[in-house]
């Protein structure tokens, strides 16, 4: 009997698919590491999880977050190849697959050998602690989550220059909760409005209207 990928409470996705568990970046707030360390991968060293890879996608269109337990920066090449192959085998064009990384050079490194399918969106996560000067124009969106340090208007404007980015996500750190100062939020929303971008502000950031997940990715 086929096992379906899991629905998720992540507000900007409908499901998660985790063919890889583990990451070497060592972010102090990493919830994935806490879960993995407790239940199945104490060292949090990246590992291929065949059972998860084989799970079935839903029949109805879904927004599938592919790497909630890892960062593709640390994936082996054949893992990337297998995952992209499954996504692009023609049966799943109606799903959207979301990848996130903190590596601004991911297109020059891990993804350099691959053609990215049209229904794959690749986002760069920036928490404010380290802001790249320039990013690859192929990124689809920026994910300021969890935002733990200020990103100035100048930083946001510079990051968007010459890219095809049309979407931005903002979210606060949870567990422990860390409120984002309103000025930091305005820095991002102000530039996002100037560029005419779609904005998804998570429920844990107050004072901002909520956009529906599916509308966000349309």
Footprint of ligand SF4 (CB under 6 A): 23, 25-27, 30, 32-33, 70-71, 102
Q: Where are the alpha helices (DSSP H) in the chain?
A: 31-39, 50-53, 77-87, 153-160, 182-195, 213-217
Q: What are the angstrom distances between the C-alpha of 194 and each of 52, 160, 191?
A: 41, 11, 5
Q: Minimum Å distance from CB 106 to ligand SF4?
A: 12
CA nearest to 146, candidates 7, 40, 10: 10
d(C-alpha 213, C-alpha 142), whole Å: 15
Q: Minimum Å distance from CB 102 to ligand SF4?
A: 5
Q: Minimum Å distance from CB 190 to ligand SF4?
A: 27
Residue (41 or 163) nearer to ligand SF4, CB: 41
Residue (34 or 134) nearer to ligand SF4, CB: 34
Residue 107 CA, distance from chain mean position: 15
Residue (33 or 95) nearer to ligand SF4, CB: 33
d(C-alpha 139, C-alpha 152), whole Å: 20
Q: Minimum Å distance from CB 189 to ligand SF4?
A: 24
Q: Minimum Å distance from CB 17 to ligand SF4?
A: 15
Residue 83 CA, distance from chain mean position: 16
Residue (25 or 86) nearer to ligand SF4, CB: 25
d(C-alpha 128, C-alpha 178), whole Å: 13
Residue (143 or 192) nearer to ligand SF4, CB: 143
């Amino acid at each position: 009997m086929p096992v379906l990928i899991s629905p998720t409470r992540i507000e900007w996705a409908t499901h998660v698919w985790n063919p890889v568990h583990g990451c070497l970046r060592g972010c102090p707030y990493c919830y994935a590491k806490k879960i993995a360390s407790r239940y199945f991968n104490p060292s949090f060293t990246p590992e291929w999880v065949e059972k998860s890879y084989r799970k079935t996608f839903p029949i109805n269109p879904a927004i599938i977050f592919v790497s909630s337990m890892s960062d593709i920066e640390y994936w082996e090449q054949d893992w990337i190849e297998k995952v992209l192959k499954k996504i692009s085998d023609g049966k799943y064009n109606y799903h959207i697959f979301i990848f996130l990384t903190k590596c601004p050079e991911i297109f020059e490194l891990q993804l350099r050998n691959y053609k990215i399918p049209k229904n794959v969106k690749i986002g760069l996560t920036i928490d404010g602690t380290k802001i790249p000067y320039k990013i690859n124009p192929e990124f689809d969106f920026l994910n300021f989550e969890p935002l733990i340090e200020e990103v100035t208007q100048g930083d946001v404007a510079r990051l968007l220059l010459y890219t095809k980015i049309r979407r931005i996500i903002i979210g606060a750190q949870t567990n422990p909760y860390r409120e984002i100062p309103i000025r930091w939020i305005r820095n991002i929303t102000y530039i996002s409005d100037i560029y005419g971008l779609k904005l998804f502000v998570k429920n844990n950031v107050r004072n901002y209207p909520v956009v529906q997940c599916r509308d966000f990715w349309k």
